[in-house]
Amino acid sequence: MLTKKQLDLLEFIHKRVERDGVPPSFDEMKDALDLRSKSGIHRLITALEERGFLRRLPHRARALEIVKLPDSLAAKSGGFTPRVIEGDKGSEPAVPSRPAMAQPIDALHAQELPLMGRIAAGVPIEAISEVSTHVAVPGQMIGQGNHYALEVKGDSMIEAGINDGDVVVIRETATADNGDIVVALVEDHEATLKRFFRKGNAIALEAANLAYETRVLPEDKVKVQGRLVGLIRTY
């Protein structure tokens, strides 16, 4: 027997996965259930896992599999097929989904992008302005506009599937929607990779790691330098 909060969370996750293919963020879950902190979401997810409704996948940041639904939810959805939900989401997937089979880079019409150095996924570091080298990126990862690449330093975005040492592909833009993962320039001298939220006349830069506090700054102190469109990982 599930509690009302456990049932509400499971239904919320299921609906978002069915609609978007990716789960809501922990903050979205917290807001949807009207909880005060994300620790409450962690406890609910643990309880659902213990009761066999969710399964956490090892070695993957906040990756969950919906194993089953209660009869009441399954009836609403007209049946249920388990599927994996992985990563986090803004207006676009933070990390592109893996292809069924790996393809060589040259088969994907690789393009060379400037690798601008390192971006902090943790404590902000000095703004990046110089090209350190170039990196080959699959053409399908790049749309219109100018793009560049950055090496991630730190662990503040691990629950969005972004690890220390990953290379992120960024499309240059000065604007962002709530939930986008962006390169943010703070007070013209710190660069950081965080999730963007506008709150009135302020900007919240949110980590995807409970060990880091959300930074809320006046909007004139934050400049968006680009938005995440892809990720490259070397094993």
Residues acting as catalytic residues: 156, 194
Assess contact for 41 and 30: CB atoms under 8 A: yes
Six-digit token string for 190:
């710190």
- 167-197 in b/e form (b: 16+ CB < 10 A) is bbbbbebeebeebbbbbbbbeeebbbbbbbb
